[in-house]
């Protein structure tokens, strides 16, 4: 991660351990291959997490099924009530598809400002949601605040669940099952994504606040969904802050003050990039930024 450091020599055995990568061209074919490999197999989407396994000292799976070229999993469909997002839509493609829909500013910003341009063209939304070890994933809080649902499928059928539930079960997803769609309801709302990387861009965010509110004609908050990412190991909603904002006139300073009072409910995670306390301490500023951006939208 440190530029200018000696070139990384990873022992060949560590990164060459996968014995097959099957490139699937249809969902049915991917499901067959996954079911054949069982627990020895896994989905390979953008590879931006999997290919870094040796750096994390994690073994590769024996078999991968590459799903990135499956056309039926790569579309964004914008309907009148919902937006349906295929799991292999890349961060770059998602940001471009949502660029003209202000109600999705939060998700367009999450997808469009994560990582760096080359990574955004590889990393997929499905991979972003399905990686339990990645606390700093940008699209997870963004989709929590948009009340997204996740479709999971295996050879035996499909099921739909709230993203909150998916986050609880994702690390124990049965072999042969994968995320096949992300469904996001449409509504009149003001949304924004505030992230704090240590440099202006390129780094993981130390903390993320994803913000979505509906306001009445007088500017009072009618509904609010606010999610916090990267502070704790898994992103979650900040329900006490949401409740405190309901019925109030939305103003960025006031929201930040309330966030200061409520921030102690978070137990930050220590990381090489930032200590636990720092992640929590920046939350009020991120709430201020997110609220201001949402108001401006």
Ligand X SMILES: Cc1cc2nc3c(=O)[nH]c(=O)nc-3n(C[C@H](O)[C@H](O)[C@H](O)COP(=O)(O)OP(=O)(O)OC[C@H]3O[C@@H](n4cnc5c(N)ncnc54)[C@H](O)[C@@H]3O)c2cc1C
Q: Considering the rule CB under 6 A, would residue 182 count as an interface residue with ligand X?
A: no
| Residue span 34-73 as binding mask against other proteins, x where in contact by CB under 8 A, dash where not | ----------x--xx--xx-xx----x---x-x-x-----
Q: Which region, judged by CB under 6 A, interacts with ligand X, from 20-28, 47-55, 220-228, 263-271?
A: 47-55
CA distance 40 to 278: 39
Identify the bridge partners of residue 212 per DSSP, sorted by sequence position. 191, 225
Q: Considering the rule CB under 8 A, would residue 11 count as an interface residue with other proteins?
A: no
144 alpha-carbon distance from chain centroid: 9
Q: Considering the rule CB under 8 A, would residue 161 count as an interface residue with other proteins?
A: no
**Footprint of ligand X on residues 112-171 (CB under 6 A)?**
114-115, 119, 123-124, 126-128, 130-131, 134, 136-139
- Other CB atoms within a 10 A radius of the CB of residue 129 amount to 22
The binder of 291, among ligand X, other proteins, none, by C-beta within 5 to 8 A per type, is none
Given 39, 116, 168, 222, the residue binding other proteins (CB under 8 A) = 116
- Give the residue with the Cβ less far from ligand X, 4 or 188: 4
Q: Considering the rule CB under 8 A, would residue 296 count as an interface residue with other proteins?
A: no
Q: Which region, judged by CB under 8 A, interacts with other proteins, from 1-9, 135-143, 145-153, 262-270?
A: 1-9
| Residue span 59-98 as binding mask against ligand X, x where in contact by CB under 6 A, dash where not | ----------------------------x-----------
- Give the residue with the Cβ less far from other proteins, 3 or 157: 3
Q: Are 29 and 72 in contact (CB under 8 A)?
A: no
Q: Considering the rule CB under 8 A, would residue 7 count as an interface residue with other proteins?
A: yes
CA distance 134 to 119: 15
The binder of 23, among ligand X, other proteins, none, by C-beta within 5 to 8 A per type, is other proteins
Task: Give the shortest CB-118-to-other proteins separation in angstroms.
Answer: 5
Given 71, 118, 174, 297, the residue binding other proteins (CB under 8 A) = 118
The binder of 80, among other proteins, ligand X, none, by C-beta within 5 to 8 A per type, is none
Binding site for other proteins (CB under 8 A): 1-5, 7-8, 10, 12, 15-21, 23, 44, 47-48, 51-52, 54-55, 60, 64, 66, 68, 115-119, 121-122, 201-202
């Amino acid at each position: 991660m440190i530029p200018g450091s000696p070139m990384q020599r990873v022992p060949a055995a560590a990164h060459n351990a996968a014995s097959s990568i099957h490139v699937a061209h249809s969902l049915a074919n991917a499901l067959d291959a996954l079911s054949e490999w069982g627990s020895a197999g896994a989905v390979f989407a953008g590879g931006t997490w999997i290919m870094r396994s040796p750096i994390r000292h994690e073994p590769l799976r024996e078999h991968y099924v590459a799903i990135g070229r499956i056309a039926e999993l790569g579309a964004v469909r914008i309907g009148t009530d919902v937006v349906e997002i295929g799991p292999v839509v890349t961060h770059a493609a998602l940001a471009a598809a949502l660029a003209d829909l202000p109600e999705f500013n939060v998700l367009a910003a999450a997808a469009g400002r994560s990582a760096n341009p080359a990574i955004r063209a590889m990393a997929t939304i499905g991979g972003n949601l399905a990686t339990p070890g990645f606390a700093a994933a940008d699209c997870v809080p963004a989709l929590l605040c948009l009340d997204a649902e996740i479709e999971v499928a295996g050879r035996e059928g499909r099921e739909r669940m709230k993203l909150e539930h998916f986050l609880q079960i994702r690390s124990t997803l049965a072999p042969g099952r994968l995320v096949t769609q992300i469904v996001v309801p449409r509504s009149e709302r003001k949304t924004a994504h505030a992230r704090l990387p240590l440099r202006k861009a390129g780094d993981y965010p130390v903390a993320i606040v994803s913000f979505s509110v509906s306001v009445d004609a007088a500017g009072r908050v009618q509904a609010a969904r606010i999610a916090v990412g990267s502070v704790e190991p898994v992103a979650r909603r900040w329900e006490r802050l949401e409740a405190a904002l309901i019925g109030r006139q939305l103003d960025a300073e006031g929201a930040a003050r309330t966030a200061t009072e409520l921030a102690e409910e978070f137990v930050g995670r220590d990381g090489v990039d930032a200590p636990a306390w720092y992640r929590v301490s920046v939350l009020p500023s991120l709430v201020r930024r997110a609220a201001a951006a949402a108001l401006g939208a």
